[in-house]
Chain A
Amino acid sequence: MADHTLPIPGAITAAPSRGAALLEWLHGWVVTVDHKRLGILYVVYAIFFLLVAGAEALAMRIQLAIPGNHFVGPETYNELFTMHGTTMVFLVGMPILFGFANYLVPLMVGARDMAFPRLNAFSFWLTAFGGLLLYFSFIGGFGLYGMGNAPDVGWFAYAPLTAKAFSPGHNTDYWALSLIVMGFGTLGTAINIIATTLSMRCRGMTLFRMPLFVWLMLVVSGLTLITITPLTAAQIMLLIDRYVGGHFFDTQSGGSAVVWIHFFWIFGHPEVYVLVMPAFGIASEIIPVFSRKAIFGYPAMVAASVGIAFVSLGVWAHHMFTVGMTSVGNAFFVLSTMMVGIPTGIKIFNWLATMWGGKIRFATPMLFATGFLFQFLIAGLTGIMLSVAPWDWQLHNSYFVIAHFHYVLVGGIVFCIFAAIYYWYPKATGRMLSETLGHWHFWLFLIGFHITFDTMHLVGILGMPRSIYTYEADRGWNTLNMIISAGGMIQGIAVLIFAWNLIDSFLHGKEAGNDPWDAWTLEWSTPSPPPAYNFGADPVVRSRRPLWDLKHPNDPDWKYEQ
């Protein structure tokens, strides 16, 4: 199937020895500037850290399973929740979603590579070494509890806890520096994605013919430009405070701890949308293909995405209702937060309308996408509940909040990430993932997810605060915590099945062919895995579903669009 007019690059000399070949192969991956290889590197890196941060979560759940447990001490517990949060956001969520974008955006817009391939490689290695820097703190970090003290100030690192007096040593600096390094990596990738989507599209690929995943990544990258950079700025201020004796967050010299909270959430809230909108893109690709219908309301989907990005910039202080604001401030952030529900609701209805009357195939990617729809709806509804300031005063920093945002991050984003891996794994490796193991993975993960996070709402309403390393037996939380921990274990088993599936199918999976799902976007017109040059001839498109046009020359989409 490979194009015969172009030579396939590769060694033509006699086979070298096995050691030399291995070295050559490794060298190829390290020096690569190919967007597909970098995409795979991002995803593999993120899956590795998904297992690490998942193990940290399970350690916390073992500690909390029974009251007064001594599985880990309070110091270790602080490190665990700090590293779990930081890892999941910066080393799992961002890299895996930008990894998908790296792999898919050039293929979907019919380009040879990203706009700046070397910047792309540079961004990946910044992210990779940022992650290593963060995890090196487990060995080299010196903090309040001596050597080997990982950061323990929480993932939002509120001042004045980060001041030199309360966080001596340099474990907090590992956190700040690694986030700055990764921030620059992310900035580079965002610039690259924007330049690729705007400047590298193949002929006929107008903005309103781009697949929705590309649209969402364009919006996300634009949002990233103005979201990650405030965090970088705040981290620089923190380092100035800690190292050269500045007073930004030093209340004794007139500085303000509240300013850190504002700066952090000016980053932190749009960050949620940076993570969730690629998931929307994934759902918008998978649901139509498995419902055998074109996406319902394409322009509305684009408008809703841009709308979410704008609204998300004005909602950050809903994390701060308990910090204390004026009633006008409270009212503004209540209303702006509720407004997010409108474009998000449009999206949910469009996905439902796409499925409505469709000929749905429940292959594993579609199972995960369907799970995403229901869980994301519930996550959105508890979000509306928490946006009401008095309700938030009652439940802020309780397990209800933890349950809410894990519903978004796990029930929404992680489900879409799994869907995406099942959907595009055949393209990247040439082999199908096992459907049997996939079903086991889905059902176990779904059941484990609901056991854990549905129950977590209840302990939250019963008053259990977040970030506590243990609790007393007479609080009435014992049974519920045991149930939550059991659900966590079920999810752990499901993820191990998934990891096994990835490895086993890579070696023994069924051959995928070019287009195993009978899909419509350009990446499925290339061989699996695609050659380094992607397309033998530059593709030309006339509609949003170029492969549909090819497969149905008598009934092409371009007759109906516009």
Chain B
Amino acid sequence: MSAIQNSIPIFADENWRLPSRGRVGMFSLIIGESAIFTIFVVAYIYYIGRSVSGPTPQILDIPIFNTVCLLSSSLTIWLAEHAIERGCMHAFAAWWALTMALGIVFIAGTAQEWTRLILHEGLTIRTNLFGTTFYSLVGLHATHVVVGLIMLSLVLLFTLLGRVEQRHAERIQVLSLYWHFVDAVWVVVFTVVYIVGR
């Protein structure tokens, strides 16, 4: 068979380049995830003002500090990507840890917000339609942040053990794509829940 194959006129193009499978896979995942978020966002927008009783979105405070933390974590992870590309592993570890810290601050902020809503405002997922859509949409995003944090912490762990090297830069960038996506989704969720819906 190889004899037959060798008789194929050799394709002259030495620049046979294909996109990285990691990036293609992650972009595909992001497209799929976007569709899930779209459905939840549509449900949230459709149900704005349709609750028949209970608290309304006016009880929400705009989480500006949280938002600034999460969005700046996109910048720090980008700096980490550049550090590992250049092989500066210490800088990489530092930026990576800072990214994680910002993500943790965001989740802590969400936890604080939910505590206030549940204990002081009496808004739970079963209180009314606003509660159902609010907790499911913001919760869906928070779940993605938590999943992202788990993956970030694994990378940090391996970095501290000295197992992450410059040659892993592309994998790190693929994982960062996910984190950038989680940040970008927050822009949408923030706009819909805290600006348009309030």
Contacts and interface: CB of A to CB of B under 8 A. Distances in A.
Contact of B4 (A200, A240, A550): A550
Interface stretch (A390-398, A452-460, A540-548): A540-548
Interface string A203-247: 110000000000000000110011111101110110011001111
Contacts of B20: 199
B2 A246 contact: no
Contact of B51 (A5, A196, A254, A546): A254
A347 interface: no
A244 B28 contact: no
A246 B132 contact: yes
Q: Among the interface residues A196, A221, A244, which one has the most CB atoms of the partner chain B within 10 A?
A: A244
B6 A537 contact: yes
Contacts of A200: 18, 21
Contacts of B29: 187, 191
A527 B39 CA distance: 47
A245 B125 contact: yes
A230 B8 contact: no
B24 A194 contact: yes
A237 B137 CA distance: 10
A225 B32 contact: yes
A115 B20 CA distance: 10
A40 interface: no
A125 interface: no
B110 interface: no
Interface in B13-55: 13, 16, 18-21, 24-25, 28-29, 31-36, 38-40, 43, 46-47, 50-52
Interface in B98-151: 125-126, 128-129, 132-133, 136, 140
Given A542-B8, A542-B11, A5 B2 contact: yes
Contacts of A556: 9
Contacts of A225: 28, 31-32, 35
A245 B131 CA distance: 11
B35 A226 contact: yes
Interface stretch (A255-263, A283-291, A412-420): A255-263
A201 interface: yes
A195 interface: yes
Given A5-B2, A233-B39, A187 B47 contact: no
B10 A540 contact: yes
A236 B132 CA distance: 12
B25 A191 contact: yes
The interface size bin for chain B is 35 or more
Contacts of A241: 132
A539 interface: yes
Contacts of B58: none
Contacts of A549: 8
Contacts of A240: 125, 132, 136
A190 interface: yes
A155 interface: no
A226 B29 CA distance: 10
Interface string A111-125: 000011001000000
A237 B136 contact: yes
B64 interface: no
Interface residues of A, number: 64
A244 B126 contact: yes
A240 B139 CA distance: 12
Contacts of B9: 542, 556, 558
A234 B52 contact: no
A485 interface: no
A526 interface: yes
Nearest to B25: A195
B24 A3 contact: no
Given A1-B1, A244-B126, A553-B7, A263 B39 contact: yes
B36 A246 contact: no
A326 to B, nearest CB: 16
A240 B34 CA distance: 20
Contacts of B50: 254-255
Nearest to B8: A540
Contact of B5 (A119, A234, A540): A540
A550 B40 CA distance: 53
Contacts of A190: 28, 32
Nearest to A547: B4
Contacts of A222: 28, 31
A204 B11 contact: yes
Interface string A250-270: 000111100100010010000
A503 B4 CA distance: 34
A198 interface: yes
Which 8 A-B residue pairings sit nearest by Cβ, starting from the closest?
A: A245-B126, A233-B39, A199-B21, A204-B11, A229-B35, A246-B132, A115-B21, A254-B50
Given A228-B32, A233-B39, 17 more contacts: A187-B29, A191-B29, A194-B28, A234-B39, A237-B136, A244-B126, A246-B132, A248-B47, A253-B51, A254-B50, A525-B4, A525-B5, A537-B6, A540-B5, A540-B11, A550-B4, A550-B8
Interface of B: 1-2, 4-11, 13, 16, 18-21, 24-25, 28-29, 31-36, 38-40, 43, 46-47, 50-52, 125-126, 128-129, 132-133, 136, 140
27 contacts: A4-B2, A115-B24, A115-B25, A194-B28, A195-B25, A198-B19, A201-B18, A203-B13, A222-B28, A225-B31, A230-B36, A232-B36, A233-B35, A233-B40, A236-B136, A237-B136, A244-B125, A247-B129, A254-B51, A255-B50, A255-B129, A256-B46, A263-B39, A526-B1, A536-B2, A540-B5, A540-B10
